[in-house]
Structure 1
Amino acid sequence: MMWGHGDGMTWWMWLSMGVGTLAFWVVVVLAVRDLLPGQKKVAYPPPRPEPLTLLQERLASGELSPEEYEQRRRLLVDGH
């Protein structure tokens, strides 16, 4: 018995049933998507090192002479 409202469903009952069904399937799809092994998160490239760090690495590896290093360091730090 439906408390005197007849034996049919009202519009809000249909609406709540539809919203509930939609929410259920959204949760299922999101859960399956997260569980799949092929789905990877977006990997951002690592940040670039500071220019002085790169300059020091080049000096340490022998790519620059101490004079070239000092000249380029002054250019980076002082701007001239």
Structure 2
Amino acid sequence: MMFWYDHDVSGWGWFAMSAGMILFWALIITVVVLLIRALNSPHEHTHTPLAPAPTPEDILRERLARGEIDEEEYWRRLNALHHGPLTKT
């Protein structure tokens, strides 16, 4: 004769099974949430174009704005950029 009721799960067994089930579902939900976030987030590896390099005119304007050169120097250098250097005769 077999004693099926003799191997009953005690109170600690029920607690361990309940905690295990809660941890299992927490793990499943965490994996699903992380997977959804990973699929919906913009990819960091996409190539984003960098800002274009400043033109010589931009650099001159910045130097004038910072006070590195005065207005006369700005116009002289801007003229040299557009028409070539002034030659002394």
**Structure 1 length as normaliser, TM-score?**
0.45
Bigger Rg over Cα: 2
TM-score (norm 2): 0.42
Specify which structure has the bigger relative contact order, considering alpha-carbon pairs within 8 angstroms and separated by 6 or more residues. Answer: 1
